[in-house]
Every structure is written in structure tokens, then in C-alpha cells.
Amino acid sequence: MITLILNDRLIRTDRPAGLPLLDFIRYDQGLRGTKIGCREGDCGACLVLEGRLIGERLRYRSIVSCLTPLANAHGRHIVTIEGVNGVGLNPVQQAIADLGATQCGFCTPGFVMALSGLCLSEYPVTAEQALAALDGNLCRCTGYQSLREAALRIAAQLPAAPEARSLAVLAEKGFLPAYFTQIPERLAGIAPLRHKPRPGRIHLTGGTDLFVQRPDEVLDAPVNFFAGKKALEKISFRKGVCTIGSAVTATDIARNPVLQQHFPRIREHFSLIASTPIRNMGAIGGNIANASPIADMVIFFLALDADILLRSPQGLRQLPLKRFFLGYKQLDKTPDEHIEAIRFALPGSNIRFHFEKVSKRTYLDIASVNTAICMEMNGDTIVRIGLSAGGVGPVPMFLTETCNFLSGKPLIESLLAQADEVMQQEISPISDIRGTAAYKRLLLRQLLYAHFAELFPERSFAAFFQSLKR
Ligand SMILES: Cc1cc2nc3c(=O)[nH]c(=O)nc-3n(C[C@H](O)[C@H](O)[C@H](O)COP(=O)(O)OP(=O)(O)OC[C@H]3O[C@@H](n4cnc5c(N)ncnc54)[C@H](O)[C@@H]3O)c2cc1C
Ligand code: FES
Ligand code: FES
């Protein structure tokens, strides 16, 4: 039986585990404030907050209910627009009303929930953070300026430090109803669901790919749900090696303090993936198993020459991630295997790493071409290099030949043009809605330049840059 707290009510339900949370909220529970827009995670009209206990701390994040299976709400506090209503308008609703940040109102519950998520954020509230909180919401009629002003006004009203924004403080200031302060105790009383993965079932972690592609199957077929499984949600470090469980979300990877030390720009790089609510849900295992040739997290970890760990009733199997992709949407994986983790050597201080993505829109768009590079230098010589590229072949590619060509060579400018020639031989892009094959070839050439320009700002690659214009 699935048990959750929906706003202030404890709910036990035997409704299907694969039912979209959105439908459960609207049709089973009659809470119509949460709207149905795209049902594809794009618009944020269905946005709700998910509160979960991490140890003794209650953590809230925004999620899209259209792509969340009911099973993933087990043991959680799910907050809809009805759940933040108090007496009169709360400060978030007041800011939206005062600044004229609503017209038809269809998107408004989603925006209120995104900004309520900002109030409850486990991270410091800054102006940048306030604007980013809205990155998963679309509005067709108001225009975004007034919404941004509302976000900034709310940020200015909130204590920046998370410790100064306890549930009690937020309730006292009227941002939340008082019942929130009882939620940690109430959630602690819900026992976790314990089901082992069974062979032959569909695997589901965040649902952000699966629900878009095969929603009916999730509803009807038996599913292995991986979100919330503690063993799969861990990031661990041992002897210079990092292991990331398959259910770790993009948000948790980007926010991990140790990974931030080794990849100082990881938050910036991951901000190019989807939107805040999708990053709060979408996990590394799903990104890999979805087998998209442009999966951003795959491209990031491919350049590090990561391994993948696959679990089945027969045991654990480890293989290089670059060998996991056999052909378009074909994986070296049996139906009984699920992804348990990825593993890679943490880059040392002599390693330079960079990620690039080009898409039609900067945010909330999938890549036309993406690429990552990881380089170890000894003086002027490239000792070791990992270069990955997406959107230029049927699978996410580790560019072995290009890497072999560059390894051991001194980094002089003419090397880039030669490397590009090897790289162009190695890739095989096709024309599709994200661009022609020729355009993708040009993009990757430009991104090769971007990698070197970013990693070696002290050097000039002017001749190679000029050649890009021809
Ligand atoms: C609006 C929107 C924007 C997006 N933008 C981007 C983007 O910019 N970049 C990007 O890379 N992706 C993007 N995505 C895709 C998606 O969010 C990511 O691929 C995400 O990481 C998928 O993870 P998930 O946990 O939600 O996967 P799920 O949907 O749960 O699963 C995806 C696939 O993996 C399988 N699977 C899940 N877990 C496992 C496991 N442990 N072992 C084996 N198989 C498993 C499922 O059966 C399914 O085939 C976007 C999606 C949406 C809806
Ligand atoms: S309905 Fe559009 S994101 Fe859910
Ligand atoms: S106010 Fe109409 S869609 Fe936003």
C-alpha cells in the first residue's frame, strides 16, 4: 500500500504504483489547482513540492507531477497549491498579485509552487537562485519580467541561509501554513516500501524519460521502482574513486561538495540539463539506460572514462561505459540487469575538465551536439585525454581515435586542426530536427576549439579559430 502525506492529510492508497501523481492529485483527490499542461515535463503547470526525510532533516524539492509515478510519492510529503494556502494570500501569492505576474492564471499554481520551493530550499537563497527556481515553468500570457520581479521580491523577503528558514520561521512569517511543522514527525512514521527488483520488469527511477515515452506501459506493466532506494542514492568516495548510485539525481550530483571540488564548474554545466524540477527527479541510471545519443550526463562521465556497474540475480558486472552502447538504443544489458552505479577515478589537480552543449535554447532543451573533455598534462605534453561527443553518431561516443592521436603529443596550435581531421573521420552525424549532418560536424569542430580555449586561456588558438569561419 502506498502511503504519503498530501498537504495536511495522511493518505493510504492501493491505486496503481505507476499512476501519474498528477492524476491521483486531480482525479482521485479532487485537488484541481494542479494543472495539466504538456504532460511531458516542459511547462511546470503540474509542479508540486516533494518533501522527504533525509535523516532527521526534511528536504523539499520541486517536481513535475505529470512524470512522477505514485510509487515515488510513498513516504513523502506532497504539497500542492492547496497545501500552501493560508488565511488570505501568502507572501508568494501576494508578490505575484502585486506585480501583475498573472493573467489567465493557468500557469500560476505552478509558479507559486516553484517559488514556495525556493522558500523551502536547502541552499542559500540568492537572486540567481530565485530566478533559477522558475526555469521549469512556462507562461503563455503574462511575460516573464513581472514573474522575475516577483521572484526577486520573495528572495529579498527571505533569510538567505537555509538554517534561518526553518519550517517554524517560514510558518511564522506566513510563507507556509502551520501544519508543516508537524510533517517531519508524521513522515517518520511511514515505513519504506521494500520490494526487490524482479527480473523481466520495466525499470523506473525518476520517470522523466519513461513517462514521456511509454506512459501506458508504466501504468499497466509490472515495474521495478528504484527512486528512494538508499543503496542506489549514494555518492561515495574511496581511494580516489567515486561511485555514483544509479538513482542519484542530476541535482544531487551537481550539488555534491566533493564533486564540486573536483569539477568547480559542475553546477554551471549541469544547469544546462533540463530544468530544476526535472534535475530534481532525473537520475544518472535513467540517463544512461535511456540510451539517447545526446544524454548530457552520459557525455559528462564518458570523458572521465567511467565504468558502469550492472546488477542482476547472477551478480555484479562492471564494464567501461564506452562499451555499454552497442548501437542506436542498443545496450550491452540483459533485461534482468539494472544499472547499479557508475564509477570513475576522481580527477587530480593536474587534470583539466570541461563540458560544452549546444542546443536551440540555452535552457530546457536537449543538445544538438554536446561534448566533454578530460586532459592530463605534463608541462606542454598531453599525457592522457578523454573526449566524448553526443549527437554525432548513433550512440554517445568516446572518441577513441581522436584521443589516441592527441595522447603523448605536445600541445601546439597546429595540433587542433590535425585532431579535428581525425575527429571528423571518427564521427557519423545524421541530419535531423536538431540540425544537418554538416552543421553538427561544424558544431563539434567549434566545440573542440571551445574546450581548448576554456582549458588553456593562457594560450592562443587564433589560427584554428579563424579556420572555423571558413
Ligand atoms: C522536459 C525534459 C527535459 C529534459 N532535458 C534533458 C537534457 O537537457 N539533457 C538530458 O540528458 N536529458 C534530458 N531529459 C531526459 C531525462 O530527464 C534524463 O535522461 C534523466 O536523467 C532520466 O532519468 P530518470 O531517472 O527520470 O529515468 P527514467 O525515466 O526512470 O528511465 C529512463 C530509462 O532508463 C531505464 N532505467 C531507469 N533506471 C534504470 C536502472 N537503474 N537500470 C536500468 N535501466 C533503468 C528505464 O526503463 C527507461 O528506459 C529531459 C527530460 C524532460 C522531461
Ligand atoms: S503538465 Fe507540463 S510539466 Fe507536467
Ligand atoms: S498567466 Fe496565462 S499562462 Fe501564465
Nearest atom in ligand 3 to 139's CA = 4
Widest Cα–Cα separation across the chain: 69
Nearest atom in ligand 3 to 141's CA = 2
The pLDDT assigned to 360 comes to: 86
Domain 217-346 listed as CATH 3.40.50.300: no
Cα(50) to ligand 3 centroid in Å equals 24
- Taking CA atoms only, the protein residue closest to ligand 2 atom 3 is 41
Q: Is 205 in the pocket of ligand 1 (CB under 6 A)?
A: yes
Across residues 395-422, what is the average pLDDT?
96
Cα(393) to ligand 1 centroid in Å equals 19
Q: Is 420 in the pocket of ligand 2 (CB under 6 A)?
A: no
Indicate which ligand has the atom closest to the C-alpha of 229. Answer: 1
> Cα torsion for 306, 311, 314, 319, to the nearest 10°?
-10
1-193, which class in CATH?
A: alpha beta
Across residues 188-200, what is the average pLDDT?
88
pLDDT in tens, 101-112: 999 999 999 999
pLDDT in tens, 111-138: 999 999 999 999 999 999 999 999 999 9
| pLDDT level of residue 463 (50, 70, 90 thresholds) | confident
Across residues 422-442, what is the average pLDDT?
96
Domain ranges of the chain: 1-193, 217-346, 352-470
Q: Is 310 in the pocket of ligand 1 (CB under 6 A)?
A: no
pLDDT in tens, 306-327: 999 999 999 999 999 999 999 9
Indicate which ligand has the atom closest to the C-alpha of 215. Answer: 1
Angle between helix axes 414-426 and 437-455 (nearest 10 degrees) is 140
| pLDDT level of residue 5 (50, 70, 90 thresholds) | very high
Q: Is 45 in the pocket of ligand 2 (CB under 6 A)?
A: yes
| pLDDT level of residue 470 (50, 70, 90 thresholds) | low
The model scores a pTM over 0.95: yes
Cα(205) to ligand 2 centroid in Å equals 18
Q: Is the CB of residue 200 less than 8 Å from the CB of residue 335?
A: yes
The pLDDT assigned to 362 comes to: 78
Indicate which ligand has the atom closest to the C-alpha of 71. Answer: 1
Cα(3) to ligand 2 centroid in Å equals 24
Classify domain 352-470 by CATH architecture.
2-Layer Sandwich (3.30)
Across residues 345-371, what is the average pLDDT?
91
Cα(313) to ligand 2 centroid in Å equals 36
Cα(121) to ligand 1 centroid in Å equals 24
**Could you give the angle at the alpha carbon of 125 between the alpha carbons of 251 and 99, nearest 5°?**
110
H helices of 263-399, in order, are: 266-270, 276-281, 284-289, 296-302
Q: Is 227 in the pocket of ligand 1 (CB under 6 A)?
A: no
